[in-house]
Structure 1
Amino acid sequence: MRLVPVTLSLVDAVLARPVLDEKGMVLVGSGVKLSERMVTRLKQLGVSSLYIEDKRTEDIVIVDAISDETRRSAVNTVYNSMLSMIETERGSRRASRPQIGRDLSRAFQDILADLKGNKSGLISLASIFTVDGYLYHHSVNVAILATALGLAKGYGQKEITELGIGALLHDIGCTRIPPEIMNKPGVYSDLEFEIVQKHCEHGYDILRTQDGISLHSAHIALQHHERMNGTGYPRKLKGLEISEYARIVAICDVYEALTSKRLHRDAHLPHEALEFIMGGGTTMFDLNLVRLFAKNVAIYPVGMTVRLNTNETAVVVSLNPEYAQRPIIRLLTDERGNRLDMPYDIDLTKELTMMIVSYSE
């Protein structure tokens, strides 16, 4: 299988991995043959890439950071937990606070177990979801990245759980922002941006009264938009005034947001997002954490179809943990775009004149 952009050229292609809705439920299952109507509808739903079957890459196995079952359960738990917290606040529903805490803890422990069992050495996110499910899938992906970073730092069970639960709920304050503003496809006005910025304080207000959620976790919601140089919000904290948990989630939040399709823009490639974060590593983000993050994330995920500086196209076959920018690839076309009868693999650590320059169909 391989990852390709969603275009009408995918008509009659067979889906290799499912597309999930906002609740983590399967919208279109693997094995489905794509029609023109389905491709058009998926584009309308904000799906920008799909994993498809391809005989030339049938031996390539896409490994998500967590299992499909764990991901679907986590997204569904975050969705239901956020809904319960907000409805309880409004008095429209009586939810058991301890039950919410237990459900979130169970979902996080499943994520943690999957990450501890990940032997690939680099974290790769392989979920495909509709844009209206962005908040919930984003929350789970940020938790995956933050937990991986916490493990790399050697966090113990208490620390990793506080970090993970806080990351899962870091954007819960967005549920208090009017949908017409939160989902606006264009640029925010100054007033709208002020309203959106309030989601940090809203999130803290919601979480600090929840049973089973520590204040350390709640402060992630409050501080994840603070920046090392004091240019963030809501309190313009600087440096070590920002909790380490929030400094971790700040990096993961920006990376995941940049690599996701949004209403107002297409997704950036993983290496482009990492370059942006590295560029802010001495001003906006904790440089030591940025360096650790860069060592643990797959900037060219397995299955991604890429274009080389030679104008050839290839698919990423496997990762080189020591040289993340130079994976093993399989050439699919020559420099003139002609399909190769016999695709072959190249280790970019041994072909130093070749490099990946862009995503490709």
Structure 2
Amino acid sequence: MLFVETQDIKPGMRLAKPVYNRNGVLLFDRNTKLTVQNIVNLTNFGLIGIFILEPAEPLPPITREEQEFEQLQTFYMFRLRDNLVNISKGKMPTDLPSLAKDITDHFGTLDHKVHFTQTIRSNTDFVYKHSVGVAIISAMIGHAMGLRESTLLSIVNAAFLYDFGYLYVPAEIMKKGEDITEIENSTITKYREKAFALLHADTNPYSIPSDSLAMVTQMIKAGRAEGDDVDRSKWLTGTTILTVADKFDRMTAMSLSRKPKSEISAIRYLIDHPESYPQNVVSALAKCIHIMPVGCCVDLTNGDKGLVLETNERDFNQPIVLCFRDNQILDLSNPKINKTIRIADVMHTMDNRVKMDDETLKQFTTDENSSKMVKKYQFKKLQIEKKLQRQA
């Protein structure tokens, strides 16, 4: 799978990912062989580029839920853009409450983990895609933490607005990403404060929840401060959730100038910085996102590569892995094995989606000895879990 910028698209190329219009309607499905007219339509649609399949590459697997996730991202992004444009013009963001409700209803009620797939971002659409991504992650985290719907709605509304000011930041600063100077960071803060003023928090003509406005204020102040200078003692729970969601989304997002971090790399970073990212919030995030699902390929610290056969719900760092080199099954929860072999990172395709799915795994067969070993590990883990439950 390759990413090709719009000006380099050629007839005959095959789409690797579907293309939707602003209403979430499918324009071009995966595996579509592009014609000259298709390319003209894609250019007029304003895309910075597309993912294409290499000439001999088969269509990669994708679940219905993953496809719907990408569709909703596009739909939500355009809806948010219209609302923020209205606010910038002093007009009523009439669709903002219903957009927050839609995201909360869909992602703030899930009872299972999701594959948080990202779309490529440019300087022109960064704010909208980032804000939608943070809103979705925050809704899932809040639900995992048992927060009320009204609180989730406030958090999602704040996610839409705390980075609103980035729309006014000069392009030359935006291109730098996080590699900015202290002066440039101050410039960004000024634009964020300018955008916040457009919300008229004193009179609140747009009926934005008061908690949302408080969270936005706290997020802007956090952006102004540096490291330990951030006073989190009076932060609302929603602000801590937004901080975690913001960092996770930024680290795993794709852009033309930077490769994304894997989910496991991002989670590990958050865990390693508890002073900035509360661990109860990070733990809630880990319950919502597939970090190392069954079927994903991993790099091991000893240089080998492997396939996750079974996840570990107690510690995502310690799944059962099949080593490709010698077909050996490694239970990384075993202290003797984990002492020398651990997960280094997850192997990803260019769109940050793991390479294998359930259908692919069904075609995988192990030898009799390997199958016995897996069942042995599964039985031992079940016995340990039952023992822990009795003790609890």
Could you say whether these structures have the same fold, taking a TM-score greater than 0.5 normalized by the shorter chain as the test?
yes
The answer to whether 1:249 aligns with 2:247 is no
Counterpart of 1:359? 347
Matched residue, 1:129 = 120
Corresponding residue number in structure 1 for 2:80: 78
Alignment RMSD: 4.5
Q: Aligned match of 1:106 in 98, 122, 136?
A: 98
1:239 partner letter: R
Deviations 1:233-278 (CA, angstroms, capped at 9, x unpaired): 9xx5413222221111011101101111245532111111112111
Q: What's the counterpart of residue 154 of structure 1?
A: 146
Q: Is the 8 A contact 1:307 1:356 kept in 2?
A: yes
Does the 8 A contact of 1:122 with 1:321 survive in 2? no
User: Structure 1 vs Structure 2: percent identity of aligned residues?
Assistant: 19
Match of 2:270 among 277, 283, 298: 277
Which amino acid letter does the alignment assign opposite residue 216 of structure 1? D
3-state SS, counterpart of residue 345 of structure 2: strand
After superposition, the Cα gap between the structure-2 partners of 1:285 and 1:130, relative to the gap in structure 1 and judged at 3 Å, is closer
Q: How far apart in 2 are the matches of 1:308 and 1:57? A: 24
Unmatched 5+ residue regions in structure 2?
Answer: 350-392
TM-score, length of structure 1 as denominator length: 0.70
Q: Which one has a bigger Cα radius of gyration?
A: 2
1:195 equivalent to 2:187? Answer yes
> What TM-score, normalized by structure 2, do the two folds share?
0.66
The AA in structure 1 aligned to 2:290 is A
| Number of residue-to-residue matches in the alignment | 324
Counterparts in 2 of 1:360 and 1:163: CA distance versus 1, 3 Å? closer
Cα distance between partner residues in 1 of 2:82 and 2:178: 28
CA contact (8 A) 2:332 2:342 kept: no
| Distance (whole Å) between structure 2 residues aligned to residue 185 and residue 311 of structure 1 | 33
One-letter code aligned to 1:71: Q
Structure 2 vs 1, CA of residues 262 and 220 (structure 1 numbering), >3 Å: closer, same or farther? farther
**1:145 equivalent in alignment to 2:137:** yes
Distance in 2 between residues matched to 1:210 and 1:33, nearest whole Å:
49
Correspondence for 1:214 among 193, 209, 216: 209
Q: Offset of 1:326 from its aligned partner?
A: 5.4
User: Any conservation in 1 of the 2:109–2:143 contact (CA below 8 Å)?
Assistant: no
* 2:14–2:52 contact (8 Å) kept in structure 1: no
Q: 1:296, 1:154 → 2: CA distance?
A: 13
Whole-angstrom CA distance in 1 between matches of 2:22 and 2:171? 15
